Amino acid sequence: MSGSASNLRERKPNGAANGAAANGASTNGNGNADSTVAVNMPTIYGQAMDKKLDTHESYEFGGPAGVTAMMIGFPLMMYYLWICLWYYDGAMVHPTSVDDIVPFLQRMWAHCLDGAYPTAFAWGTYLGLGAIQLFFAWVMPGVYQNGLPVPSLGYKTLVYKCNALYSWYATLVLAGVLHYTGIYRLPWIIENYGSIMTVAIASGVTVSAVIDILARTCHYGGAPLRMSGVAVYDHFMGVSLNPRLGPVDLKMFAEVRVPWVLLFLISLSGVVKQYETLGYVTYNMCHMLLATGLYMNACAKGEQMIPQTWDMFHEKFGWMLIFWNMAGVPFTYCYPTIYMTRSDPATYEFPLWGNVLMLVTLLTSYYIFDTSMSQKSAFKMQQQGEYKPRKAFPQLPWAAVTNPKFIQTKHGNKLLIDGWWQYARKVNYTADFIQAFTWSATAGFNTPITMFYSVFFFAVLTHRCGRDFEKCARKYGDDWVEYCKIVKWRFIPGIY
Ligand code: NDP
């Protein structure tokens, strides 16, 4: 359970900053970070802002009606898109007339029974993978990282066990052994995609209900936070912040070990399936394998930086994070792979120059994504006196900025205005989106379904950017306005 003494570390008060704020003096001004300076507690002003942020003030995501629509609509959408892709070659099927509505629904239901029934094999696959990942998370060696000071815990930090890297390598070896011995052949994942998706949806809904009940009744994961009082809305946003199982932080586990491992395994399954069907593997299929592999590897090699993100220190563990990570990410971001395993390569393959362009675009955007995320996390860790560079593969130049420029805020935190962060306030989103676009493009442009990830991700990132900037504006006040003047652009320097 969260909050146990062994998992918490107390912060030392930031005397200088507190004193300045208490005297009414502004601590604003630019400067250079010293890698050994600890950031410690926010100022008194900052603590008041943090308290405000931890109180429910307004609804997000369209309020109770909006989140109810999402909780019903997302699973239905996943079934619909799967049916179109699996049974109709990506055509967006619909009733042909009013009279056809009932027969149409009957056809949809028949497809679900035929291809998405939650078989024992599907349960074994999904829960087996989850159990293996949980076992690895529990026992594998790794590094320990202190998270950011959590306002609702009196600015104590939680300790995160970061062992995703060895777990990831072990998963790769295990997947290879199981495939080559015939105990679990990789193509079986794709062949049972619909059934495993149903199990994932059921598991996501069940886990979010269990976590919700435990958080409300026994404060599992900490005291309920930012509660609106409307049960359905609080269920979607989450009740508590940091549920843990032994040494495993469930939120970090759900964000890294479930979605990206499974998404990579679906890509690998697609590669093997295509090889066994065609006798060769297309570049497009390899692109999906490389892209999902790079993403998973980035999560594993930079896992110690994830506690510095707002998902960890601000977002609660509710339906939104649980369902989307357990079911949404792995079973929707893989649509190009599903399409390619079932379609003639002539419908999506590119000429050589197209493949080269795809590869160069993916690698360039990955580089910016990886190093920008790493620069900001390293900066935050430097302020906490927590920065310990890790030698995980691949080591990239400019992963941290030496003596970076920053803005000192009245809150006590510093805002980086150097490295990639001097060019745009969400440069990581731009790079991440370009990666997503190349994933979608691998399957060509025959059906809108394979473009799902980039269209959905565009909506997620623009909405998430709005939520984050609103949160920062409330937290930093005038300093945020100053920061936005210095770093003018949101996504693309000179354009937007
Ligand atoms: P982060 O936590 O990394 O960044 C936002 C926070 O960083 C802000 O709330 C603020 O927190 C702090 N911050 C903002 N600007 C600065 C600055 N200049 N200097 C110092 N601190 C700053 O979360 P992101 O939303 O950026 O997401 C992380 C990654 O996850 C992104 O690359 C995103 O694309 C990816 N992602 C992927 C998804 C997927 O489905 N593939 C879904 C969602 C995200 P503070 O209060 O500490 O100042």
Residue 496: inside a domain: no
Residue 176: inside a domain: yes
CB 148 within 8 A of CB 133: no
Does ligand 1 lie within 6 Å of residue 415's CB atom?
A: yes
Residue 170: inside a domain: yes
Poorest-confidence range of 284-293, 308-317, 364-373, 451-460?
308-317
Instruction: Check residue 399 and give its pLDDT.
Output: 92
Q: Is the pTM of this model over 0.75?
A: yes
pLDDT tens digits for 245-286? 999 999 999 999 999 999 999 999 999 999 999 999 999 999
**pLDDT above 80: residue 9:** no
Q: Please return the burial class of 353, using the count of CB atoms within 10 Å of its CB with bins 0-12, 13-18 and 19+.
A: exposed
Residue 492: inside a domain: no
Residue-wise burial string across 413-448, b where 16 or more C-beta atoms lie within 10 A, e elsewhere: bbbbbbbbbebbbbbbbbbbbbbbbbbbbbbbeebe
Does ligand 1 lie within 6 Å of residue 476's CB atom?
A: no
**pLDDT above 90: residue 416:** yes
CA of 362 to the centre of ligand 1 (A): 21
**pLDDT above 70: residue 127:** yes
Q: Is 240 helix (H, G, I), strand (E, B) or coil?
A: coil
CA of 327 to the centre of ligand 1 (A): 22
Segment 456-481 mean pLDDT: 94
Return d(Cα 323, Cα 321) in angstroms, integer: 6
**pLDDT above 60: residue 78:** yes
pLDDT tens digits for 109-125? 999 999 999 999 999 99
- Two tokens, residue 204: 């996501």
Choose which residue among 310, 405, 483 to substitute to test ligand 1 binding: the one with the highest number of ligand atoms within 8 A of its C-beta. 310
Does ligand 1 lie within 6 Å of residue 374's CB atom?
A: no
- Would you list the DSSP string of 292-338? HHHHHHHHHHTGGGGGGSHHHHT---SHHHHHIIIIIHHHHTTHHHH
Residue 310: inside a domain: yes
More confident residue, 123 or 13: 123
The mean predicted confidence, pLDDT, of the chain is 91
Q: Is 246 left (phi over 0), alpha (psi -120 to 50) or beta?
A: left
Residue 205: inside a domain: yes
Residue 493: inside a domain: no
Q: Number of folded domains in the chain?
A: 1
Alpha-helix residue ranges (DSSP H) falling in 63-191: 63-87, 101-115, 120-139, 164-181, 187-191
Residue 208's domain comprises: 5-486
Return d(Cα 206, Cα 233) in angstroms, integer: 17
Residue 234: inside a domain: yes
